[in-house]
């Protein structure tokens, strides 16, 4: 497999290519496809997941706790692996909570965020003993009743919607009017309720946004979030034990994007930790990452079922597409559609990809022009049976895609 001449994607070398064939943790892709039994599938690399966590541990101050936001990839085997590598799991529904507990995550290290938590979900959270990141005044009386009914006080942190927002986030999730968190102006009132009802206050959660590749703006958000939490702590009924400063670390998906520079973030977090040691001495500083931990460790693999030429344009039709990988199709939040990194790997024994290249579009089987995995990319000339690989596919893949759309088979996920 050779890298396309242009445009250049930053992130196509985390998987090894040998003899023109992509490998996942030592397994040639053709063999892996045979082992899975059917295409399309997602494959996640244990080696890359472990390496990413280790790399972060080395880069970040030791005092920073690293959480995995499992909505990025809720495959139970992945959550199980991550639970053993990170300091906590962040869930955003009772469904995810059960997966995290099954995966062996400690209830004490799970936190539960998200707007619109239903009453039974809040009861499940209190029964499980996880930390609830409160996002609305409405949750408090429900938590108070659950605490009474179960004879254990709900553990709560307040998710704050700050009065600032952050440059550079692909998706802003704080600042201005938002459905997330409690507006900072309302937090003192909410804290008074927490105190009155005897709920177990543990801290604050701030989340500015996702998919940010600008280290300076991440640093700025962390400092502003810290200072806001410090101000709010003055009204808190108990010392802050947990200060979750969010995450938002992005990964490079598109040509020209560069990997996030961790050095300034690490230096900044070091300063935040030093301040916290003086000003909030009982607080752990937490960052919660989704795609940064898992996104680059996964590929989506589909088989080419037809090579069609329409008025001079080549279409590689595959058995996979938008229904499994909405984000690579450009329909999961992108404003202007751009190609994810895509490569081809030989699908049949004794038939390597040649040196000849052509411009081709990789599409799926759905009867909609939105079903596009690569738009006019420079690729090796492929034949029926060869494999199309979408990189940067370890996050927001299978679980974030409309798998029932058009009635094609669901895809498999494997952890290699
Ligand atoms: C979605 C989400 C995350 C994970 O976002 P990534 O961009 O995958 O890192 C973390 N925290 C909260 C509160 C979220 O909603």
Would you say residue 156 lies in a domain? yes
Distances (CA, A) of 136 to 64, 129, 240: 27, 20, 19
Residues with CB under 6 A from ligand 1: 69, 71-72, 90, 113, 207, 210-211, 247, 288-292, 395
- Verify that 159 and 121 share a domain, yes or no: yes
Calpha distance 328→320 (Å, rounded): 11
End-to-end CA distance of the chain: 20
| 238: DSSP letter | S
Query: Of 289, 309, 343, which one is at a domain's C-terminal end?
Result: 289
Closest Cα to atom 7 of ligand 1: 210
Closest Cα to atom 8 of ligand 1: 290
pLDDT-derived band at 86 (thresholds 50, 70, 90) equals: very high
Q: Encoding tokens for residue 69?
A: 């936001």
Would you say residue 118 lies in a domain? yes
The parent domain of residue 166 ranges over: 74-289
For the stretch 166-215, pLDDT in tens is: 777 777 878 888 999 999 999 999 999 999 999 999 999 999 889 999 99
Would you say residue 404 lies in a domain? yes
Would you say residue 126 lies in a domain? yes
Calpha distance 378→4 (Å, rounded): 6
Q: Assess whether pLDDT exceeds 80 at residue 10.
A: no
Burial class (CB in 10 A: 0-12, 13-18, 19+), 234: exposed
Calpha distance 272→282 (Å, rounded): 14
Calpha distance 65→60 (Å, rounded): 9
- Verify that 109 and 210 share a domain, yes or no: yes
Query: Of 289, 319, 345, which one is at a domain's C-terminal end?
Result: 289
Would you say residue 250 lies in a domain? yes
- In this prediction, residue 13 carries a pLDDT of 86
Mean pLDDT value across residues 146-163: 97
pTM of the model: 0.96
- Verify that 278 and 304 share a domain, yes or no: no
Q: What is the CATH number of the domain that holds 388?
A: 2.40.37.10
For the stretch 20-65, pLDDT in tens is: 899 999 999 999 999 999 999 999 999 999 999 999 999 999 999 9
CA of 322 to the centre of ligand 1 (A): 22
- Strands, E assignment, 39-164: 41-44, 65-69, 88-91, 110-112, 131-134, 155-161
CA of 147 to the centre of ligand 1 (A): 28
- Verify that 201 and 283 share a domain, yes or no: yes
């Amino acid at each position: 497999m050779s890298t396309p001449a242009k445009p250049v994607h930053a992130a196509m070398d985390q998987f090894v290519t040998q003899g023109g064939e992509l490998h996942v943790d030592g397994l040639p892709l053709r063999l892996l496809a045979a082992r899975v039994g059917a295409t399309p599938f997602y494959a996640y690399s244990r080696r890359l997941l472990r390496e990413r966590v280790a790399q972060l541990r080395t880069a970040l101050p030791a005092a920073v706790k690293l959480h995995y936001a499992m909505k990025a990839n809720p495959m139970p085997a992945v959550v199980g692996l991550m639970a053993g590598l990170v300091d906590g799991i962040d869930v955003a529904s009772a469904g995810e909570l059960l997966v995290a507990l099954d995966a062996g995550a400690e209830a004490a290290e799970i936190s539960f965020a998200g707007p619109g938590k239903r009453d039974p979900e809040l009861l499940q959270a209190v029964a499980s003993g996880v930390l609830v990141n409160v996002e609305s005044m409405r949750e408090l009386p429900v938590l108070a009743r659950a605490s009474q009914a179960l004879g254990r006080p709900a553990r709560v942190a307040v998710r704050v919607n700050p009065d600032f927002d952050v440059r550079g986030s692909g998706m802003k999730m704080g600042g201005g009017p938002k459905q997330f968190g409690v507006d900072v102006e309302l937090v003192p009132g909410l804290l008074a309720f927490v105190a009155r009802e005897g709920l177990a206050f543990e801290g604050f959660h701030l989340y500015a946004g996702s998919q940010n590749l600008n280290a300076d703006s991440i640093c700025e958000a962390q400092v502003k979030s810290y200072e806001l939490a410090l101000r709010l702590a003055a009204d808190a009924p108990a010392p802050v034990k947990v200060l979750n400063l969010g995450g938002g670390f992005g990964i490079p998906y598109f040509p020209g994007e560069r990997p996030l520079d961790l050095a300034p973030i690490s230096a900044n977090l070091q300063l935040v930790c030093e301040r916290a040691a003086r000003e909030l001495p009982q607080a752990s500083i937490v960052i919660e990452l989704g795609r940064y931990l898992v996104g680059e460790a996964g590929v989506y693999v589909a088989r080419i079922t037809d090579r069609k030429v329409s008025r001079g344009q080549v279409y590689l039709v595959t058995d996979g597409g938008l229904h499994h990988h909405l984000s690579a199709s450009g329909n999961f939040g992108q404003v202007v559609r751009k190609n994810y990194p895509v490569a081809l790997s030989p699908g049949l024994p004794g038939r390597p990809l040649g040196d000849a290249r052509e411009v081709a579009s990789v599409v799926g089987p759905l009867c909609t022009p939105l079903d596009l995995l690569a738009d006019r990319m420079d690729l090796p000339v492929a034949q029926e049976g060869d494999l199309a690989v979408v990189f940067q596919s370890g996050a927001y893949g299978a679980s974030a895609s409309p798998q029932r759309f058009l009635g094609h088979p669901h895809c498999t996920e494997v952890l290699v």
